[in-house]
């Protein structure tokens, strides 16, 4: 069995190569630039870790993991365009460094490359992997659209936000685990538990992401401080605060959301603190984490093989970037 750190290093050795041809340089250089930023490589390593639950890592797991990481980076390039984000991982986003049209094309060709890696796996596994991959890709797009839709609405319920985040973020984590399990020959019961655990990890991950955007150290987080607040993005924190804020507090929050005051971030953060949203978010992420750990416990797999995944899930709620 390998730890997350060990598998991350092994995956990096296989992934950190040129995935694209040389020409046209203006199309492929932006992708090489973006991939050079690195990242957590969480999703592909989850695939490898889930695969190892059932024995030695299947050779095809490396191709599937690579496809997952390329697809994830495709979504990030396009998300940055839609969010008009200036930074990603502390560096210029692709559309900022190059231009928006090039960024769109670069993302498109990165997604196509992901499918090429899937096409290389054993023919007996392609259909199941491709069906799950395609279903997940559609859900991610649906989640992103809902995210944009919610930006235009004054009120979004917590249940609606949970549904959106599940599609936009959680299902790719869940599918990464399940694809690894499929390649490992896992039973349908174990595969379902892997998927459910992945969804809960994704929700805990997003709560932490929302929390860090508001309360994290920008130097560690690698994004613009309070970016979600400036963009009026519906997050776990804002939705809960809209439920909790009353009277003058709610009036001030509504005014801040309607404008672009120079001290907007600081004032909204103060309202969050006054409503004790920071503590609520910490409790919520631990709730999702505990549910994920229970799903792992319920799997009919030798206990020691589950330990690396459970340890990783716990680390995710403590991350600072």
pLDDT, tens digit (0-9, with 9 covering 90-100), for 43-95: 999 999 999 999 999 999 999 999 999 999 999 999 999 988 898 888 999 99
For residue 319, pLDDT over 80 is answered with no
- In this prediction, residue 155 carries a pLDDT of 85
> Could you tell me the two tokens for 158?
């917590």
Question: In terms of residue numbers, what domain contains 22?
Answer: 4-316
Domain-embedded: residue 96: yes
CB atoms within 10 A of CB 223: 19
pLDDT above 70 covers a percentage of the chain that reads: 98
For residue 197, pLDDT over 90 is answered with yes
- In this prediction, residue 22 carries a pLDDT of 93
For residue 218, pLDDT over 80 is answered with no
Domain-embedded: residue 321: no
pLDDT above 90 covers a percentage of the chain that reads: 84
Q: How large is the average pLDDT for residues 245-252?
A: 96
Domain-embedded: residue 215: yes
pLDDT confidence tier of residue 222, bands split at 50, 70 and 90: low
pLDDT confidence tier of residue 226, bands split at 50, 70 and 90: confident
For residue 321, pLDDT over 70 is answered with no
Lowest average pLDDT, out of 74-78, 143-147, 225-229, 268-272, goes to 225-229
- In this prediction, residue 169 carries a pLDDT of 93
- In this prediction, residue 232 carries a pLDDT of 86
Find all residues with CB under 8 Å of 52, minimum gap 6, and list them.
Answer: 1, 2, 7, 180, 184, 305, 308
pTM: 0.91
Give the model confidence (pLDDT) of 261-297 as tens digits: 999 999 999 999 999 999 999 999 999 999 999 999 9
Helices (H), 16-157: 25-36, 42-52, 60-83, 94-97, 100-118, 123-151
Q: How many helices (H) and strands (E) does the chain have?
A: 17, 2
Indicate which CATH number applies to the domain containing 116. Answer: 1.10.600.10
- In this prediction, residue 76 carries a pLDDT of 96
Do strands 87-88 and 91-92 pair parallel, antiparallel, or not at all (unpaired)? antiparallel
The HSE-up count of residue 300 (CA atoms within 13 Å, CB side) is: 8
Number of domains in the chain: 1
Domain-embedded: residue 55: yes
Cα(8)–Cα(41) distance, integer angstroms: 7
pLDDT confidence tier of residue 224, bands split at 50, 70 and 90: low
Q: How large is the average pLDDT for residues 203-214?
A: 92
- Give the CA distances from residue 116 to residues 162, 178, 183, in Å, rounded to whole numbers and listed in that order: 32, 20, 17
- In this prediction, residue 184 carries a pLDDT of 97
- In this prediction, residue 231 carries a pLDDT of 83
Cα(8)–Cα(167) distance, integer angstroms: 25
For residue 153, pLDDT over 90 is answered with no
- Bond prior to 282 in cis (omega within 30° of 0): no
Strand, coil or helix: 87: strand
Domain-embedded: residue 290: yes
- In this prediction, residue 217 carries a pLDDT of 73
Nearest Cα to Cα of residue 127 among 66, 72, 77, 182: 182
Ramachandran area for residue 232 (φ above 0: left; ψ -120 to 50: alpha; else beta): left
- In this prediction, residue 223 carries a pLDDT of 61
Domain-embedded: residue 156: yes
Question: Do 78 and 104 contact (CB within 8 A), yes or no?
Answer: yes
CA dihedral 141, 202, 191, 312 (to 10 degrees): 140
Average pLDDT, the chain: 93
* 167 DSSP 8-state letter: I
Domain-embedded: residue 157: yes
């Amino acid at each position: 069995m390998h730890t997350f750190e060990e598998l991350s290093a092994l995956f990096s050795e296989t992934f950190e190569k040129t995935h694209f041809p040389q020409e046209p340089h203006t199309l492929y250089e932006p992708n090489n630039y973006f991939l050079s930023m690195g990242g957590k490589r969480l999703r592909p390593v989850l695939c490898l870790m889930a695969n190892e639950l059932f024995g030695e890592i299947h050779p095809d797991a490396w191709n599937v993991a690579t496809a997952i990481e390329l697809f994830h980076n495709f979504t990030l390039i396009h998300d940055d365009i839609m969010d008009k984000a200036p930074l990603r991982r502390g560096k210029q986003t692709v559309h900022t460094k190059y231009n928006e049209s090039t960024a769109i094309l670069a993302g498109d060709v990165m997604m196509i490359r992901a499918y090429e890696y899937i096409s290389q796996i054993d023919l007996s596994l392609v259909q199941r992997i491709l069906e799950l991959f395609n279903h997940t890709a559609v859900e991610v797009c649906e989640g992103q659209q809902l995210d944009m839709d919610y930006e235009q609405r004054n009120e979004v319920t917590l249940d609606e936000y949970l549904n959106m985040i599940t599609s936009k973020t959680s299902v790719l984590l869940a599918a990464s685990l399940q694809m690894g399990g499929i390649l490992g020959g896992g039973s349908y019961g174990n595969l379902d538990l892997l998927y459910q655990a992945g969804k809960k990890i994704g929700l805990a991950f997003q709560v932490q992401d929302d929390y860090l955007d508001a309360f994290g150290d920008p130097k560690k987080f690698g994004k613009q401080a309070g970016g979600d607040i400036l963009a009026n993005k519906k997050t776990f924190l804002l939705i809960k605060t809209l439920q909790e804020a009353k009277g003058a507090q709610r009036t001030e929050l509504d005014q801040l959301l309607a404008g672009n005051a120079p001290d907007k971030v600081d004032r909204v953060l103060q309202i969050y603190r006054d409503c004790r949203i920071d503590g609520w978010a910490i409790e919520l992420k631990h709730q999702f984490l505990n549910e994920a750990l229970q799903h792992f416990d319920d799997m009919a797999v030798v206990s020691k093989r589950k330990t690396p995944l459970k340890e990783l899930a716990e680390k995710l709620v403590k991350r600072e970037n």
